[in-house]
Chain A
Amino acid sequence: MARAKGRGAIDLERTAVAAIDGASRRGIPDARAVVERSRSVSVTYRLGRPEKVEESARRGLTLVLYDGGRYSVCETNDLREEALERFLDSAAALVRATTPDPFREITDPALYAGRLERDLGTHDPSIAALTPTERHDLAARAEAAALAEAGAEAVAAEAGFEDEEGELFQAHSNGFAAGRKGTRFGLYADVSLADAGDKRPSDSEFASTRSFAALPAPEEIGRGAARRARGKLGAAPMETATLPIIVESRAVGRLLGKLLAALGGRALQQEQSFLAGALGTVVGSPVLDVVDDPLLAGGAASRLFDAEGISARPMPVFARGVLEGNYLDTYYAKKLARRPTTGTWSNVVVTPGGKCAEELMRGVERGLLVRGFVGGNSNPTTGDFSLGVFGTLIENGAPGRAVAEMNIAGNHKELWKRLIAAGNDPWPYGSIRSPSLLFDAVQLSGSGAG
């Protein structure tokens, strides 16, 4: 399939600078502009043929205006010159309609300093050479492998390949100007199997990488999906009890993300964080060692600067259980009378331990290997959480039957102190890069009264 050609291709830098100039001409002293563009193609296979082929080309301008404490954020995807003039008029009118907030200021230019000039391995030029045939082939091979591995119990399988290339340019009225580009390649497979009654347990395997070469073989993805689905056959709840759990590496992000939610500037300043004032105190066991690393080579969220133009540098978040880092953007840092760090996570890297997941399991007499979460919630104000889980029973140090319809509950203030080991198996495909984690004594609810 031919890609739609870049009709009316926009010059990102020129558009960003024009937006800043346009704001300035309208009397707005400070502004930040980001102009982005991306293209992606996705091919989905089912029953051995293409189910869906989608192509997309996106673009957009985000303009942030600061006028004596007045603040507005305006976005548009209509980048024609005459439309931009009208957009700037209404953006300027909007910011003037708001009330001044003494804490709203554009990024301190001192924070632009020290930006590294380094190739973070986020862009793979080989994307330009990908052909429609190759894309179809990758999706088809993943689906075929999934079906072959699933065998007679397969009731449905689907697989897909997606590639995306994006770039942006960011300009600020007080001296910041920089751009970046990136690529992403993704493969996935979903498999559903026939099970007792009407149940058709399904699971997926997926990978997402910055370079095409780093992607696993599609057969590995397809077979992985079938094996994971097989691991859910015959699933049933286990007893309500307090037991050790191992959270599989791929699933850790959902749990750790809840802890990180309490470290954002807004939550901290608005007293909606149980970790307000906890900097320098013990939050977890010494196993809890986490660094926010924007400079990770080939990382899903690697960057040299953040949305506010702040130069990226690694930030310890937890060092041997002690809270060391908060995510503070300019606004909330000012409200908290602190120095800004960055307002958004980059790559959240959990320090691995020495044991593989099987070895972690060996020390557990009875417990649950959590392979995924189903809904639930975590309250960042109090730290209370209650989350639906599924996975595999651990009996005498080995995996047993499939478990579903279970829940774990507790408070983050206690949970992370019960983290007793980290595996050596970090999941490499997301912005949260964690190995499997073993926790002691977690409240599980399932069948029967507590």
Chain B
Amino acid sequence: MTSGGYFATRFGLDETVLRRVIARALDRGAEFAELFAQHRVNDAIGFEDGQVNRASTSVDLGVGLRALVGDQTGYAFTEELTEEALLAAADTAASIARGPRAASMGAIHGVALPALYAPVPLWADVPVADKIRFVERVGAAIAGADPAVVRAGVAFADEDEAILVANSDGLRAEDLRPMTYLYASCTARRGDRVESNSHSASGRLGAEMYGDAFLDGLAEETVRRALALFDARVPAAGEMPVVLAPASSGILLHEAMGHGFEADFNRKGTSLFCTMLGRKVAADFVSIVDTALEPGARGAIAVDDEGTPGQRTTLVENGVLVSYLHDRLSAAHYGVPRTGNGRREDFRFAPLPRMRVTTMENGPHDPEEIIRSVKRGLYAVDFANGEVDIGGGDYSFYVKSGFLIEDGRLTAPIKDVNLIGNGPDSLSKIEMVGNDKAIDPGTWTCGKDGQSVPVGLGLPTVKVRAITVGGVS
């Protein structure tokens, strides 16, 4: 598909229309105007009690118009793609400004984008019967895996998404993004105890993701996670060293640091990291990056939702905070290049600085040595949700399963415990970083200001000297 082709061909958003609509948004004195068009077709299949029990599909189409004057934003959208409706939305967005026309529309030009995934329509051509087969295979494998299993649940979804960004600088970029995930859950009973757990995988991939071996492996891991909980206990409460296992422990970065690095919070002075740029915030061997360039990853984007090409951004380099995550507004405020983090849930929202795939780079330590260094602490393996208070820095994330560390060895399995700490404090207490970085393939979705976006995260094995473990006595 050539640049500019998808929306011009299907919805008539050709150069002439784009020019007219964007020019209208500049009419009242805005310095910058932007059109964001989006078309998504999402399908989902559910499995429960031995059979497929629901199928759903959703079609979403619309265009958002944004006008900027300094750091002031006017925003409107339309779900009708007639030129009349687009011009009306442009008028509404334009009214943030109150003056004569000050800027003009630049010559339309494309932009080179990295190839990170196969372009859509990708899932539109996959028969429903194939998707049903993925779900049934996983469901049957879970149900038949162990006599203790009483329920198996599977949810599958796929999406073909196309976006178009065109702005008053003349930039025009299209991105055709596939997405899929498969989520499996297992409930098991032993005596009068019932435990359930889940596992999932996601990526900007097509049906090739779901080979038989992959599906069987996902089912097996789901069952293993559920059954492991029977032997696990909620650990004792209190402050202790925590060793984070590779991959999904990246939630620590996402919550404890990543959100605080989002430049809108810093521009407005609400993040406690807003005075820390250039400062040493962690040990020399700690480097943190946020990247769009992870092929096929859930958080990968060839271009952000305001037209900045996908790129890799170093946030912490050898322990020093070197950059925030920028969108257009914050980059202009700080006078720095955009980092490609301007993302939005859909055309109904103005973009905000958001994470993509956030990871810590490998460090100098051997993972075994890291565990051996802990006399008494926690080894955290699987995670669920997390949250952060941007200004105070307190974050928490939930450990679904892990192990106690006693005298340098993993001992009793643990479950269901929340870890709570303070971002800069925990960053400064990272004592060891392993050389086994992995990106978690799970279905991570980040929420901010009422907008959800798909993200990725990863980490090597990391030791934090002390985190509060919300256990029981």
Interface set of A (CB-CB < 8 Å, partner B):
1-5, 7-8, 46, 49-59, 71-78, 87, 90-91, 94-95, 97-99, 101, 103-104, 155-156, 158, 190, 192, 195, 198-202, 232, 235, 237, 240, 242, 270-272, 274, 335, 374-377, 379, 381-382, 384-388, 390, 404-410, 443-450
* B window 102-121: CB within 8 A of A: none
Q: Distance (Å) between the CB of A231 and the closest chain B CB? A: 12
A448 to B128, CA, bound (A): 55
The interface-forming segment of B52-60, B282-290, B432-440 is B52-60
Contacts of A97 in B (CB 8 A): 55, 128-129, 132
| Interface check B339, CB cutoff 8 A | no
A-contact bits for B257-284, CB 8 A (1 contact / 0 none): 0000000000011111111100000000
Q: Distance (Å) between the CB of B232 and the closest chain A CB? A: 11
A-contact bits for B49-83, CB 8 A (1 contact / 0 none): 10111111111111000000001111111111010
Contacts of B270 in A (CB 8 A): 155-156, 190, 192, 200, 202
Q: Which single residue of chain B is at the shortest CB-CB distance from A201? A: B392
Contacts of B422 in A (CB 8 A): 404-405
- Inter-subunit contact A446/B392 (CB<8 Å): no
Contacts of B408 in A (CB 8 A): none
| Interface check B221, CB cutoff 8 A | no
- Inter-subunit contact A410/B472 (CB<8 Å): yes
- Inter-subunit contact B55/A71 (CB<8 Å): yes
Contacts of A270 in B (CB 8 A): 48, 151, 153, 187
The interface-forming segment of B16-24, B171-179, B235-243, B457-465 is B235-243
- Inter-subunit contact A57/B79 (CB<8 Å): yes
A446 to B274, CA, bound (A): 27
A449 to B236, CA, bound (A): 9
- Within the complex, which residue of A57, A71, A91, A274 is in contact with B53, where a contact is CB–CB below 8 Å? A71
> Interface on chain B toward A: helix, strand, loop, or mixed SS?
strand
A4 to B132, CA, bound (A): 43
| Interface check B391, CB cutoff 8 A | yes
Q: Which single residue of chain B is at the shortest CB-CB distance from A269? A: B49
If A51-B73, A55-B76, A409-B237 touch, does A445 touch B55 (CB 8 Å cutoff)? no
Q: Distance (Å) between the CB of A99 and the closest chain B CB? A: 5
| Interface check B388, CB cutoff 8 A | yes
A387 to B394, CA, bound (A): 13
A-contact bits for B226-240, CB 8 A (1 contact / 0 none): 000000001011111
A-contact bits for B307-340, CB 8 A (1 contact / 0 none): 0000000000000000000000000000000000
Q: Which single residue of chain A is at the shortest CB-CB distance from B53? A: A101
- Inter-subunit contact A409/B96 (CB<8 Å): no
A287 to B449, CA, bound (A): 35
- Inter-subunit contact A272/B151 (CB<8 Å): yes
Contacts of A449 in B (CB 8 A): 236, 238-240
Contacts of A390 in B (CB 8 A): 389, 392, 394
A406 to B396, CA, bound (A): 10
- Inter-subunit contact B272/A199 (CB<8 Å): yes
- Inter-subunit contact A374/B275 (CB<8 Å): no
- Within the complex, which residue of A7, A49, A90 is in contact with B88, where a contact is CB–CB below 8 Å? A7
If A78-B59, A388-B470 touch, does A375 touch B418 (CB 8 Å cutoff)? yes
- Inter-subunit contact A376/B396 (CB<8 Å): yes
Contacts of B398 in A (CB 8 A): 375-377, 386
The interface-forming segment of B161-169, B188-196, B205-213 is B188-196
A52 to B450, CA, bound (A): 15
- Inter-subunit contact B60/A200 (CB<8 Å): no
- Within the complex, which residue of B51, B96, B391, B468 is in contact with A405, where a contact is CB–CB below 8 Å? B468
Q: Distance (Å) between the CB of A354 and the closest chain B CB? A: 32
Q: Which single residue of chain A is at the shortest CB-CB distance from B75? A: A54
If A235-B392, A374-B420 touch, does A443 touch B58 (CB 8 Å cutoff)? no
A272 to B197, CA, bound (A): 10
- Within the complex, which residue of A49, A98, A384 is in contact with B52, where a contact is CB–CB below 8 Å? A98
- Inter-subunit contact B350/A54 (CB<8 Å): yes
| Interface check B92, CB cutoff 8 A | yes
Interface set of B (CB-CB < 8 Å, partner A):
43, 45, 48-49, 51-62, 71-80, 82, 84-85, 88-89, 91-92, 95-96, 128-129, 132, 150-151, 153, 185, 187, 189, 193-196, 234, 236-240, 255, 268-276, 348, 350, 384-398, 400, 415-418, 420-422, 424, 468-473
Q: Distance (Å) between the CB of B303 and the closest chain A CB? A: 23
Q: Distance (Å) between the CB of A297 and the closest chain B CB? A: 27
- Inter-subunit contact B71/A58 (CB<8 Å): no
Some 21 contacts from A to B, beta carbons below 8 A apart, are: A3-B92, A52-B75, A53-B73, A54-B350, A73-B56, A94-B57, A202-B390, A235-B392, A272-B151, A375-B420, A377-B398, A377-B418, A381-B196, A404-B392, A404-B422, A407-B237, A407-B468, A443-B471, A445-B468, A445-B470, A449-B240
List of 5 A-B pairs having minimum Cβ-Cβ separation, nearest first: A407-B470, A375-B387, A375-B396, A445-B237, A388-B396
Contacts of B51 in A (CB 8 A): 99, 101
If A76-B58, A99-B51, A199-B391 touch, does A51 touch B421 (CB 8 Å cutoff)? no
- Within the complex, which residue of B72, B92, B237, B348 is in contact with A1, where a contact is CB–CB below 8 Å? B92
- Inter-subunit contact A450/B391 (CB<8 Å): no
Q: Which single residue of chain B is at the shortest CB-CB distance from A65? A: B55
Contacts of A71 in B (CB 8 A): 53-55
- Within the complex, which residue of A58, A195, A272, A387 is in contact with B470, where a contact is CB–CB below 8 Å? A387
If A2-B91, A57-B79, A384-B234 touch, does A200 touch B418 (CB 8 Å cutoff)? no
- Inter-subunit contact A409/B470 (CB<8 Å): yes
- Within the complex, which residue of A46, A201, A381 is in contact with B194, where a contact is CB–CB below 8 Å? A381
Between A49, A101, A202, A374, the greatest number of chain B beta carbons within 10 A of the residue's beta carbon is seen for: A374
Q: A56-B77, A98-B132, A445-B468 are in contact. List 9 more A-B contacts (CB 8 A).
A: A53-B75, A53-B96, A98-B128, A202-B390, A272-B151, A375-B388, A381-B196, A384-B416, A445-B469
- Inter-subunit contact B55/A98 (CB<8 Å): yes
- Inter-subunit contact A201/B391 (CB<8 Å): yes
- Inter-subunit contact B268/A156 (CB<8 Å): yes
- Inter-subunit contact B395/A386 (CB<8 Å): no
Contacts of A385 in B (CB 8 A): 416
- Inter-subunit contact A77/B59 (CB<8 Å): yes
Contacts of A407 in B (CB 8 A): 237, 396, 418, 420, 468-470
- Inter-subunit contact B196/A272 (CB<8 Å): yes
A407 to B467, CA, bound (A): 11
A450 to B46, CA, bound (A): 43
- Inter-subunit contact B55/A94 (CB<8 Å): yes
Q: Distance (Å) between the CB of A316 and the closest chain B CB? A: 26
- Inter-subunit contact A450/B396 (CB<8 Å): no
Contacts of A72 in B (CB 8 A): 54-57
Contacts of B194 in A (CB 8 A): 271-272, 274, 381-382
- Inter-subunit contact A74/B395 (CB<8 Å): no
- Within the complex, which residue of B45, B88, B400 is in contact with A4, where a contact is CB–CB below 8 Å? B88
